[in-house]
Structure 1
Amino acid sequence: MNIFPQSFQSLEQALSTASLKQRVHSANIANVDTANYKSKQVSFQTVLNTAMNNPGISSFKTSAEHLSFSSETKQFNPTIKTNNSTQYNPNGNNVDMDYEMAELAKNQLWYNAVTERVNGKFNSLRTVIDGR
């Protein structure tokens, strides 16, 4: 018996992706003065949009004769892409500090919103368990 709704899987994945984005943007900022360093980006939105536009419904089947259906949450794996197309500094570095700081702030807001949602889910479970 699974006491956690499937939305917990989505929220867990959102937190993991936000954590990865935090590490990538922090690494970009830390290497702002490193010669020939190329900035990196986490590409999750593209993967998510592709999956949303192609909602192939699949399910776990114990027999080949079963019909396909699902309400399962899909796993979306973000990828890290290196930006080799630009150069902002004469030393070959292409980290745009303003962009990185803005993305870091945006990601922090996203992380906080998802964390609040997780807390709300746990509070709902606590209310059910306590019977209030």
Structure 2
Amino acid sequence: MDPLSITASIIAIVGLSSKVIGYLNDVKGASNDRARCAIEASNLNTLLVTLNFRIQEATSNKPWYAAIQILAIKDGPLDQYRYALEQLQPRTISGSGIKKIGNALLWKFSKEEVTSIISRMERLKMLVQIALEMDHL
């Protein structure tokens, strides 16, 4: 995968991540779970922005670039994180008007769903950190 494709994927994920973080900051009724998701998404967002800048500065013949390509394969870590973010977006709510808006701001995730999403975020965070450290070697 070329650097431009990886950069485009990261930029799309960072944009989605920003939207989800905004939603998590507005949602009501799940203080611990919501906060954990928001913190993990925010930390990972920072790492992805750093990774994106490193990719833009690098050439594809650097050894660590192979590790970056693995992050961006189809259904790989970046795709899994995007899926996790899509799960966190406000769920479709039936109804109309103010009731629909109010329902969208309520936390509707089970403990198991949150645990699964956070574990995916933590795995990607670890992989991105390793990739960034490999750049220094």
Instruction: Tell me, yes or no, whether TM beats 0.5.
Output: no
Q: TM-score, normalised by structure 2?
A: 0.36
Normalized per residue, which structure has more helix?
Answer: 2
Structure number with larger C-alpha Rg? 1
Q: Which has the higher strand share?
A: 1
